[in-house]
Structure 1
Amino acid sequence: MFTRKQFVSASVGALVAGTLGACSSNGSNGGSAATKASDDSYTLVQSGKILGASDLQYPPLSQMNESTGQPEGFEIDLLAALAEKMGLESGWIDPIKFDAIIPLIQQGGKADVGLSAFTITDERLKQVDFTDSYLDSNQGLVVKKELTDDAEAYLNQAGRKVAAQSGTTGESWAKENLPNAELVPLDDAIQAMTGVSTGLYDGCVADLPVVSNLTLNSYTDLTVAKQIPTGEQYGIAVSKDNPGLTKALNKALTEIQGDGTLDELKTKWFGSNI
């Protein structure tokens, strides 16, 4: 596996020698070559940098630091660690809505990867490729602390409102398991948690690592009343037109798993190696 710099150097050398008719190269601001030299080559929106797309509304996985104005979180550090193994820098485009990220990656030209707690599903695999999983997760059902006794039955009644981020597996679970409640789709988990805290909604469903962190640090009046064992796995979304990038990311992911970097990041952001 070439690093990006090694591949470019090898391609240029081969071209000068007259042994290659065409080679792939990084684009600039969305440009990329149409022909690839090998299955291991890949294109990037910006030369030397892998750009991620996220809603940046899912602490501790990803969020905007209000003091610095820069993204931070487990997935931010993860992409930086992967980029370093690949001989690249990492960067992020402006935050976009969660359910717009997969179409953006599928279309190409603006970001190289989607990294926003994406559960690998058959439906999403129709649109994009995914790397190997970097984190396992379940869902969490959140209510006010005083409503922990049989919260699911309490919520599954007419007149109850349950919030979930639009396009997520949490939303799918709520539709299937709380059919009598009114499902309220929202842009992000923070809106859902805030709504439950203020009484606007009766409960919400979101990824367990996220709601566990939020109830511990920000929404102390709320609690995870039920851990929902969905057995989900998070993966990085990559365009189907860029299989070499998926392969390179998987190689880098194996390396940070092997050298302990991934465990260190989990402990840093989740408090333990979950």
Structure 2
Amino acid sequence: MSTTAGRKSPRFRAALAAVPAALLFTAGCSSDGEGPGEAAGGVPVVEKGRLTTCTHLPYPPFQFERGGKVVGFDVALVDLVAEDLGVEQKILDTPFENFKTGAFLNSGECDLAAAGMTITDEREKNVDFSVPYFDATQAVLASKRSGVRTLAEIKARKLRLGAQAETTGESYAKSQGFDPVAFESSDAVLNGLRTGQVDAVVIDYPVVQGWLKDKANAAAFVLGENVDTGERYGFSVKKGNDRLRAAIDKAITDAKADGTYDKLYEEWIGPLPEARR
């Protein structure tokens, strides 16, 4: 990824400073703000002075709580959008199944959805997506005692496979002939593996990377096969909200051009893929 030195440092410093200062976290979906408003460039927002993001917690390293704040890769990228629009980001924790339908976008609860969400044809029927901001793969994580590393081995031994409900990981498992145990959140997926409810799970690779940074997890579980499903993440907006979608696209494109994206990737995800070094 090429960079433009003249823009790189100031934008990155501003982005990092904005994350804790601009973040307003609200559990649930209610809003007691001033009502609808308009951000820079005539971009409509559901609450004056704020860019309201629907997400589903926790989903590290994309969005999760740390030290009383919601942080992560998605949070940092959306903060760049908010910075460009001259507003602050506010985050609402909402059920993941609503991201398929765009319910909270259509009802005016949120301006955009950011939840490590794969762009799919089904979802594009209900929402408009930004340009892709992350290439994702699925990974198998298994208990060491199970002795398995691949989905084929799990199937052959008739072991229990888990996945997060309503995700592409769950869909992929079903497409491979599994009836996976569905968990409501990524934390629940990990807990299911820890407690022996399942013998292995399939979930986004960056999530597994984050789990394995914990020594206890690394001692108990083993990373199995990586499955390239061609998935790409995007932020979604209400159908027809072209001004906000264009603002999100610009923030992502600028961040990739000036080096900010790579720095945030290394901070929240890990080492850059070899193709981008």
Smaller-chain TM-score range? 0.7 to 0.9
- Conserved 8 A contact 2:57-2:185: no
Quick check: 2:81–2:247 contact (8 Å CA) kept in 1?
A: no
Give the whole-Å Cα distance in 1 for the aligned partners of 2:267 and 2:37.
36
CA contact 2:37–2:48 (8 Å) conserved in 1: no
**1:95-244 superposed matches below 5 A:** 95-102=93-100, 103-147=102-146, 149-157=148-156, 160-177=159-176, 179=177, 181-217=178-214, 219-220=217-218, 221-244=220-243
- Name the residue aligned to 1:245: 244
Deviation at 1:149, TM superposition (A): 4.5
Specify the alignment match of 1:43 in structure 2: 44
1-structure distance, mates of 2:154, 2:82: 43
Kindly indicate whether the alpha-carbon contact (under 8 Å) linking 1:119 and 1:232 is maintained by their aligned counterparts in 2: yes
Quote the offset at 1:85 in angstroms. 2.2
C-alpha separation between the residues in 2 aligned to 1:104 and 1:118? Answer: 15
Q: Percent of aligned pairs with the same residue? A: 30
CA distance 1:245–1:199, shift in 2 (3 Å): same
Confirm or deny: 8 A CA contact 1:105 1:237 kept in the other structure: no
Q: How far off its partner does 1:254 sit?
A: 1.3
The CA RMSD measured in Å over matched residues stands at 2.1
Question: What per-residue deviation string (whole Å, max 9, x for no partner) do you get for residues 21-58 of structure 1?
Answer: xxxxxxx655479xxxxxx7431011222111111211
Q: Secondary structure at the match of 2:161?
A: strand
Per-residue deviation, 1:158: 7.5
1:156 is paired with a residue whose SS is helix
Q: SS in structure 2 opposite 1:258?
A: helix
Q: Distance in 2 between matches of 1:150 and 1:59?
A: 23
CA contact (8 A) 1:129 1:238 kept: yes
What is the alpha-carbon distance in structure 1 between the residues aligned to residue 99 and residue 197 of structure 2? 28
Note the alpha carbon deviations across 1:211-238, whole angstroms, 9 max, x for none.
1211232622112211001121110010
**TM-score, length basis structure 2:** 0.78
Change (3 A) 1:29 1:155: farther
TM-aligned CA deviation for residue 73 of structure 1? 1.0
- In 2, Cα distance between equivalents of 1:122 and 1:109: 23
Q: Pick closer, same or farther for the CA change 1:80–1:158 going to 2, 3 Å.
A: same
Q: TM-score, normalised by structure 1?
A: 0.79
**Alignment partner, residue 24 of structure 2:** none
- Pair 148,136 (structure 1): closer, same or farther in 2 beyond 3 Å: farther
How many equivalent residue pairs?
236
Contact 1:30 1:110 in 2 (8 A): no
1:73 aligns with 2:76: no
For structure 2, the residue ranges without an aligned partner over 5 or more in a row are: 1-32
For residues 176-208 of structure 1, the C-alpha deviation after alignment (integer angstroms, 9 at most, x for no partner) is 11x2x4411111122112211221111111111
Identify if the C-alpha distance between structure 1 residues 133 and 176 changes in structure 2 by more than 3 Å, giving closer, same or farther. Answer: same
Does the C-alpha gap of structure 1 residues 140 and 182 become closer, same or farther in structure 2, counting only changes over 3 Å? same
Amino acid at match of 2:163: A
> Aligned with 1:132: secondary structure?
coil
